[in-house]
Structure 1
Amino acid sequence: MGRWEPGAGGRLREAALNLYLERGFEQTMVADIAERAGVTARTFFRHFADKREVLFDAAAEVEEKSLAALEAAPATASALDLVAAALDAAAAVIGHDRELARKRHAVVMANADLRERELIKLAHMSAALADALRRRGFADAEASLAAETGSAVYRVAFQRWVDATDDLDLHDAIAQSFTQLRTLTAAVPPRRARRR
C-alpha cells in the first residue's frame, strides 16, 4: 500500500479500537493493528507514536482549539463562561462520533494505565485553561477553581453523552451540566462565619 494512502489513520484507529475491545489493550500489538487495517507497521508509526496514542492523539488539537476559543471570547466574560467556551470548542473536536467515543471510553476504562493517562491529560488541560485565565487577568484561585470546575463539568457531560440512548449532542450535554452547576451553586446558602 502507498505511503500516504487516504484514510490509513482512520482505518488504523478503527482497527486498534476493535482489537482493544476484542483482545484487550495489553494483548494487542502494533503488528496486529497494522494487519487488521491492511497496512504495514511502518505505516502505523507514521500516524501514531505508539499504540496508546491511538487513544490520545486528539489531545493536542483539543487543547489548541479550546485555548483559542477561550482567548477569542469577549473580555467581559466570566471565568466560568470562558471555560464553557473552551469546552464547547473541545466538543467540536471530540463530539462528532459518539460510537467512536464509546469504544475509546470502554478501552480506557478497562485499563488502569490508560485511565491514569486520561486523568493526566485532563489535569494538563485544566492547568492550561487556568494559565489562560490568569493571562486574561483572573486571580490564581479564581482561575484554578474555574478550570477545575470545568474539568468536572466536562467529565460528567462526557459520561452522560456516551451513555445516552437518545440523540444527545456533546455540546448540549456540556451546556446542560453547566446549567445544573449554576442551579446547584445558586441553591447553596452562604456560609456564616462562626462566632467564638
Structure 2
Amino acid sequence: MGRWEPNARERLATAALDLYSERGYEQTTVAEIAGRAGLTERTFYRHYADKREVLFAGSAELQELFARAVAGAPQATAPLDALLVGLDAVSEAFTDRRDFARKRHAVILANPELRERELIKLASMAAAIAGALRERGVAEPAAGLAAEAGVAVFKIGFERWIAAAERRTLPHLLRDSLDELKAVATGG
C-alpha cells in the first residue's frame, strides 16, 4: 500500500495488533508498526501518542456513548434498566469486530502494563456512568454501585462474547449477564 492511501489510522491499528500478536507487545516497535502499515513513524505519531494507545483508541468515545445512553434513558427507568440502555448502545460499537476484539484482548492479557491500562479504562467508564446516574437523580451509593455493576456486566458479557466457541451476539450476552446480576441481587 502506498503512503498516500486512506485509512492510515485503521492500517496502523491492524498492523500493530498483528505484530503484537506475532511478537508480543514489548518486542514490537513503532517503526515496525509503521513499516507494516506502509507508513512512516511520523504518521504513526500523528494518530497515536504511543504504541499502547493503538489498543485503547476509542475508549473515551465508548465511555461517552455508554454514559450518554444511560443519561438518555426514559426518566422513569430504574437504574439497572438504564444500564441496559447503555449496554445496548455500547454493543453496537462492536458490530463486526469480534475477531479484532479477541486479538486485542489476548494481547492485553499477556502484558501487565496493558492490563493495568484496561483497568484504568474500566474505572473511568464506571465513574462516567455513575455521573450519568447521579444526573438522573440516583443518589449515592446507589449510583456508584449500579455503575460498577454495569461495568462488571459489560466486562463479563464481553469476555463471554470473545470466547472462541461463543456464537451468540454481544447484545444477547450483555442482557444475559445483566439478568444474572438481577437474579443474584434478588436471591434467585
Which has the higher mean CA deviation after the structures are superposed, 74-83 or 89-98? 89-98
TM-score of the aligned structures, taking structure 2 as reference length:
0.94
Q: What stretches of structure 2 of length at least 5 have no aligned partner? A: none
- Can you list the C-alpha shifts for 1:142-194, whole angstroms capped at 9, x where unaligned? 10110011111111101100005243111111011111112222225xxxxxx
Aligned position for 1:12:
12
SS at 2:162 equivalent: helix
Higher Cα Rg, which structure:
1
Q: What stretches of structure 1 of length at least 5 have no aligned partner? A: 189-196
SS at 1:187 equivalent: coil
Q: How many residues of Structure 1 are paired with residues of Structure 2 in the alignment?
A: 186
Aligned position for 2:70:
70
SS at 1:163 equivalent: coil
Which has the higher mean CA deviation after the structures are superposed, 26-35 or 77-86? 77-86
Aligned position for 2:173:
173
Please list, as runs of the form range in 1=range in 2, the aligned pairs for 1:74-89 lying within 5 A after superposition: 74-89=74-89
How far does residue 94 in structure 1 lie from its aligned partner after superposition? 2.9
- Can you list the C-alpha shifts for 1:24-43, whole angstroms capped at 9, x where unaligned? 11110100000001111111
Distance 1:159 1:78 in 2: 26
Identity of aligned residues (%): 50
What code does the residue aligned with 1:62 have?
L
Aligned position for 1:191:
none
TM-score of the aligned structures, taking structure 1 as reference length:
0.90
Aligned position for 1:109:
109
What code does the residue aligned with 1:146 have?
A
Distance 1:57 1:20 in 2: 16
How large is the Cα RMSD of the aligned pairs? Answer: 1.3
Aligned position for 2:122:
122
